[in-house]
Chain A
């Protein structure tokens, strides 16, 4: 088991190295990626701030709670943008042009090579912004020390769940000639997940919690950090990760069986 993990870590190091070398050849693009993320962060915080200039609370949450929620969302979104997003955009091309063949014959898990091969070097540099905001708003909410200890683990859990859901959605590209629409669908689900679950009507909330559990991604960890007795959603999130893992592995086998390999 350990040699296998070591093998994948070495492989991943090479992926990251290649992506950074590539990114450094297009420096302006690299800088623009950073600007893009900063603009996005600013627009999220500005929207919330403007709304709170007119109201005291949204649902049961005050300004600091929603700002923390947004910072948490941005920290997870930062990981998603850095380590997964580029792979989703590339998948449709890989399938359409038959270039997936080259990844399938490599001596590594095809899921690993397909969905973790590309890293967005520009985005990786910005981790400090959402984490600083999370720490600032967390301290305004007087989090106990235990909350700070588990915070990184909750970010990673949320990142895994968002990755699993989005990867499962992207698998549908195997049955479509053009995958851009699927990437748009994926981004729309991100849009829905970006707000607290209490803003949605009960029926929609149930669907987005139990069937496509996007509302668990940011809500379950935030709620747990605000109130440790609110742990049920976090358990649900862990169960969703386990179920997602099984579904993804099954679905990936089905996808590969239906892959027609355009270049062969």
Chain B
């Protein structure tokens, strides 16, 4: 346990050495994306609180996007780049002989980041609640906790996906392209820009069989008190995390056979 704690502390100091960089990478994109979405939807509703689009009034839509921002702030992960570099430059060799595996190292990185991102998200939430209290008046504590729990699992989902993408460096020269593709697809299909209940019905029905709704739409709806049952949602998310980690294991085993240990 001690080595886990020590490694997490090392990750914290590494992350916070370049504070401006960290802020621009982690908080900047989420805040700017939120600002653009709020402006867009305000313009679509023409600032009219009475207009309804689907089941959403302007107030509902703004609340939805406020929570989307919080879910994004907590769950987003960026570990593929470092992992990809470690494999390409042959630094993985070190982890093969250390009593602390590459996976454990990456998990500690994820945990350290999750803690920081949780603090940042809660801080932002505090500011939002005090500034835009009208959008938070009907939030129930139990729904918030359920949504928060789902969001932490979404973080695990993102981590597993990024870990998988990073491992593909065993075959590919660059994996950032895959990360961008995944991000673009998930952003649209998870309801990050447009809530999924505004999608055409046929599309929404297909999406039910994918992990995408659970990445943003379901946790946000859960917090807003319209997310359906908690346990089936959690079970679905855990199912997709298990599938991803199973693929990760296969890719790791296959990839290690190809690993040449460049620079050894």
- Contact of B173 with A29 in the complex, beta carbons under 8 Å: yes
- Contact of B200 with A53 in the complex, beta carbons under 8 Å: yes
A43: B residues at CB distance < 8 A:
184-185, 187-188
The one of A26, A50, A184, A199 in contact with B24, judged by C-beta atoms closer than 8 angstroms, is A184
Interface: A51 (CB within 8 A): yes
- Contact of A176 with B21 in the complex, beta carbons under 8 Å: yes
Q: For the complex, what is the distance from the CA of A55 to the CA of B58, rounded to whole Å?
A: 13
Interface: A2 (CB within 8 A): no
A187: B residues at CB distance < 8 A:
29
Interface size on B, residues (CB 8 A): 37
> Whole-angstrom distance from the CB of A206 to the nearest CB of chain B?
14
Name the interface size band of chain A.
35 or more
Partner-A contacts on B (CB < 8 A):
18, 20-25, 28-29, 32-33, 35-36, 39-40, 42-44, 53-54, 171-174, 177-178, 180-181, 184-185, 187-188, 193-194, 198-200
26 contacts between A and B (CB under 8 A): A26-B174, A29-B173, A32-B172, A32-B177, A32-B181, A36-B180, A36-B181, A39-B185, A40-B184, A43-B184, A50-B199, A51-B198, A54-B53, A54-B198, A59-B43, A176-B18, A176-B21, A181-B20, A181-B28, A185-B28, A187-B29, A188-B32, A192-B32, A192-B36, A195-B39, A195-B40
Besides A51-B198, A53-B198, 12 other CB < 8 A contacts? A36-B177, A36-B181, A51-B194, A58-B43, A181-B18, A184-B28, A185-B28, A188-B28, A195-B36, A199-B39, A199-B40, A199-B43
Partner-B contacts on A (CB < 8 A):
26, 28-29, 32-33, 35-36, 39-40, 43, 46-47, 50-51, 53-55, 58-59, 176-178, 180-182, 184-185, 187-188, 191-192, 194-195, 198-201, 204
